[in-house]
Amino acid sequence: MRKKTVMAIPEGNVITLQNVYKTYEQGVSALNGVSLDIKQGEFVFIVGETGSGKSTLIKLLLRELTATEGDVNVLGYDLGTIRRGRIPKFRRNLGIVFQDFRLLKDRNVYENVAFAQRIVLEPAANIRRNVSEVLAMVGLADKYKMKTSQLSGGEQQRVALARALVNRPLILLADEPTGNLDPEKSWEIMQLLEKVNEGGTTVIVVTHNQEIVDRMNKRVITMKMGSILSDVDMGGYEVED
């Protein structure tokens, strides 16, 4: 039975977790009393070795999972009590970028990005304008007709980023966005994420890339065994795999 607590959300927060536990059916404890506040416009890295709870945390923020105990509030939505029918509306406020891109391989660049707009029933004229703008932003305006299979890994990740941004999300979640890229392409993607953040979007990046974390000098939350080990503004990568 989920334990209900009194949720107090500090002003300016877009994410608040209070004493969150997550235990899977097999009895595996993934999160152990996590409390966390993220303010609008922050850029946050979440780091930690495999099994530290990073993926579970992201799934809670997406409402793919619910907490066993504690409270998760994202953009004013209580994700423990939100009705199932309201989850799609909630998720429209989020952009998501994955390590494996998750593109539609049978469609071209334009259609991959436009797909996100069609899901939210955006008018056709707006789709054309919005897709063109976001492809220009990620440097793919001249490749909109190409199939994604014809693109390099870095270009495919740019398409995935464009798709995540086209609906103008308030929060961008990036789960190992540079995991399949070489150092040069990885840095290009991180520069794009920083540009997105400078436009006011809250950016949360899960990563194992020590060089990028140390170089960017952002807020770093380090997780270990389901708990937050440290939370440092302008921090670095301190995890030993």
* pLDDT class of 3 with cuts at 50, 70, 90: very low
- In degrees, to the nearest 5, what angle opens at C-alpha 56 toward C-alphas 41 and 17? 50
Q: What is the pLDDT of residues 99-138, one digit of tens each?
A: 788 898 889 999 999 999 998 899 999 999 999 999 999 9
Q: Go through 52-82 and write b for each residue having 16 or more CB atoms within 10 A of its CB, e for each that does not.
A: bbbbbbbebbbbebebbbbbbbbbebebbeb
Q: What is the pLDDT of residues 192-228, one digit of tens each?
A: 999 999 999 999 999 999 999 999 999 999 999 999 9
pTM: 0.89
Identify whether the C-beta of residue 38 lies closer than 8 Å to the C-beta of residue 32: no
Q: 195: which 2 tokens?
A: 């540009």
Q: What is the pLDDT of residues 71-103, one digit of tens each?
A: 999 999 999 999 999 999 999 999 999 878 889
- In degrees, to the nearest 5, what angle opens at C-alpha 115 toward C-alphas 173 and 200? 35
Interatomic CA distance for residues 196 and 203, integer angstroms: 8
Domains of the chain, by residue range, sit at 105-153+162-167
pLDDT value of residue 2:
46
pLDDT value of residue 172:
96
Q: What is the pLDDT of residues 18-67, one digit of tens each?
A: 999 999 988 889 999 999 999 999 999 999 998 899 999 999 999 999 99
Interatomic CA distance for residues 72 and 22, integer angstroms: 11
Identify whether the C-beta of residue 98 lies closer than 8 Å to the C-beta of residue 45: no
